[in-house]
Homo-oligomer: A and B are copies of this chain.
Amino acid sequence: MLIREIGEFNLIERMSKALSSSGRNVIVGIGDDTAVLPFNGDKLQLVTTDMLIQDVHFRTTTATPEQIGWKSLAANISDIAAMGGEPTYAFISIGLPKTTTVEFVDKFYSGMNEIAKLYSVDIAGGDTVSSPQVIINIALLGEVNKDNLILRSGAEVGDAVMVTGDLGGSMAGLEILEHKLTFHDTEKHLKPIPRVNEGVLLARSGWVTSMIDVSDGLASEINHICKMSKTGASIQMKSIPLSQNVRQVSDIIGKNPYDFALFGGEDYELVFTCKPDKVQELKDMMDNEGNAEVTELGCIEDADKSVKIKDISGKIMQLSSKGYDHFV
């Protein structure tokens, strides 16, 4: 049997089950945005790792080396943010063809350095190897106070489902590049901004019960929260925050802008759940601090109701990670 026949999630589940444990304390292993390990006093250590392959995860024809460096680290910083934590040390493995220019490497590290500085990340090690295409692996450490750790699994029935910033911008950027629409904004696709400050504030509030970052798309992330929390959820399509850019690009290419938000991914916003009586206080708090706005999308329901979405016309559909099921 080939791995494409069983799919990525089944493969990961299969591997996780097979892995032995030495009995050492792993607070959270595979199945959240990062692993959570014992650390120092009240602090926990967070660890996340991502592999990015040329022509699978990025193209050197549409992204500059600086942007590739920035985005690789940004995706990992976002995983730390989704736990309520702050990034600390990064370890960068890079595979490069022998015909790579020194200029490419310099620019790649310059982009990575730029975001590392911005988020106080120290690049403390790595590996450099020869490979047929550009391959990047980042292992990023972080830390969080144990009282502020937010997992995917903490959502409770009645909690509000919320999100930082706006969604779909990364997909819009990709469409701009693919359709060569030169007059629109590609920053959300090429130089995404992880929400570390927002994640820390949300976690410290004590009102946030679960959190995840938007790497695969809003639909996938809400399904992850519900699966891990053993709940369902119900959201309103019209509440999903979209930028002007997303509306314009989707209009030009004739696609539904909400699909960019639900299935596009790589927005690196935070999706989280909040105790229902604290939604307004949370909005006010985030507003006062000058951070990304937060928007309420719906609420957590019983598990047997799965994940539902009310579309613009008022029709209720079941929402899976990859699409709509109209038979609800």
Contacts and interface: CB of A to CB of B under 8 A. Distances in A.
A284 to B, nearest CB: 32
Interface in A1-27: 1-6, 8, 11-12, 14-15, 18-22, 24, 26
A205 interface: no
A290 interface: no
B122 A22 contact: yes
Integer count of this chain's copies in the complex? 2
Interface in A148-196: none
A52 B12 CA distance: 20
B102 A135 contact: no
Contacts of A11: 102, 105, 128
B4 A56 contact: no
A146 to B, nearest CB: 14
Contact of A51 (B1, B15, B93, B133): B93
21 contacts: A2-B98, A5-B102, A19-B116, A24-B88, A26-B89, A26-B122, A30-B125, A37-B141, A39-B39, A39-B40, A47-B141, A48-B125, A49-B93, A51-B129, A51-B135, A56-B131, A57-B129, A95-B135, A127-B137, A132-B132, A137-B139
State the 3 A-B residue pairs at the shortest beta-carbon distance, nearest first. Answer: A139-B139, A137-B137, A51-B93
